[in-house]
Chain A
Amino acid sequence: MTALKILWHRHRLLSLAFLAALTLTCVFAVRGLLLMPLFGAPPPDPPIEGWMTPRLVAHGWHLPPEVLGAALGIEPGSAKGRTLEQIARDQGRTVEELAASIEEAALMHRALKGMPPLPPPPSPDFVPAPPPEPAPAPPAPEKTDP
């Protein structure tokens, strides 16, 4: 106890610095521990911000880039490195409007994902096959007279 008193009286500055460093350690450690669940399951779709690019959103939302391209009305590969804010300015829309389009497209894409792929569209010289002949009616069951 006396040793602590001596340190406190003779080396006030050093003792204060030590206490400050100790407090900071605890604060940072607790803050870090509270953030540890980040390593767990991936979060749901991260919120869309103006500084994000379509590719970053596509990556975070686990969507193919074409879905984003179609939702934002941009050619694939043309918006590399452009942020949603820049795209919105070019198109005279707001970032919120773009975000709404992305959300809608994501909803559609995910709803369709579970379904089998649609058949390819018919080619111009495609002649539809004639409808099949109606199958002959099955023979009526023989009547058995008692």
Chain B
Amino acid sequence: MTDLLLGLVPSWGPVLLFLATFLSCLALPAPASLLMLAAGAFAAGGDLLLSTCILGAFSGAVLGDQVGFQIGRYARDAVWRLAKDRSAKALLERAQDYAARRGRLGVFLSRWLFSPLGPYVNFIGGATGMGWLAFTTAGVLGEMVWVTVYVGTGYGFADRFEQMAELAGSFSGAVSAGLVALILGAILLRLARRHRKG
């Protein structure tokens, strides 16, 4: 399956990248990082143009983010309807407050550094009523970093881009899981303190 996809990269590069990044920004399974690295490698060999690959991947990612954000917005009313009791409503309000204050940084970093979390941040951004302009600016900047780093790495390490894909997967997996562990750890710590007091 992977070999079949890789074989399509030299002839369908930019289109394939567009589809892959679009789907991966919606949490659908698509090997976007591997394909971006492969496209960079084929560009280094001279089969593809670096600029069209970056453009294809970038536009797919930005469009995917927008769709994810809109889905979140549609889900917003449903989420509020689900929150019937006062504590659930307070939690949602706190989330909204947090998204308004820190949302931009979260969106920017979840494009490239914590990329496995990206799609969920899109949905949450839309569902917590984050401003469209703030979301889009941070998203566009973040996707620029993501696409350039991956396609550029493929270009620079064309002779070992498959191993680079594994390395990138491990790295983003480690930092993303690490961030989730950190957040959950902080929540548990707060709960433990509350129990001690109560």
Contact (Cβ within 8 A) A28 B167: no
**Interface Cβ pair total, 8 Å cutoff:** 116
Given contacts A28-B177, A32-B167, 9 further A-B contacts (CB under 8 A): A14-B184, A28-B173, A38-B167, A50-B3, A51-B3, A51-B7, A53-B47, A60-B159, A80-B47
- Select which of A7, A22, A29, A42 is within 8 A of B192 by beta carbon: A7
Interface string of B179-198 (1 = CB under 8 A from A): 01100110110011001100
CB distance from A135 to the nearest CB of B (A): 55
Q: Contact: A25 with B177, CB < 8 Å?
A: yes
A14/B188 in contact, CB under 8 A? yes
Complex A-B: 11 CB contacts under 8 Å: A18-B184, A25-B177, A28-B170, A38-B157, A42-B159, A42-B160, A46-B159, A50-B7, A56-B47, A59-B159, A81-B48
Q: How far is the CB of A96 from the nearest CB of chain B, in Å?
A: 15
Whether A55 contacts B170 by the Cβ 8 Å rule is no
Which residues of chain A have a CB within 8 Å of any CB of chain B? 3-4, 6-7, 10-11, 14-15, 17-18, 21-22, 24-25, 28-29, 31-32, 35-36, 38, 42-43, 46, 49-51, 53, 55-56, 58-60, 65, 80-83, 85
Classify the interface of chain B: helix, strand, loop or mixed: helix
- Residue B109 at the chain A interface, CB threshold 8 Å: no
Q: A11-B188, A21-B181, A56-B42 are in contact. Are A31 and B170 (CB under 8 A)?
A: yes
Contacts of A81 in B (CB 8 A): 10-11, 47-48
* Bound form: Cα–Cα A40–B6 in Å: 25
* Docked pose: A31 CA to B167 CA in angstroms: 8
Residues of A within 8 A of B4 (CB): 51
Inside 8 A of A7's CB, which chain B residues have their CB? Answer: 188, 191-192, 195
Q: Judging by beta carbons under 8 Å apart, are A55 and B191 in contact?
A: no
In B152-166, the 8 Å CB interface with A consists of 157-160, 163-164, 166
- Contact check, B174 vs A53: say whether CB atoms are below 8 A apart: no
Contact with A along B136-175 (1 / 0, CB 8 A): 0000000000000000000001111001101100110110
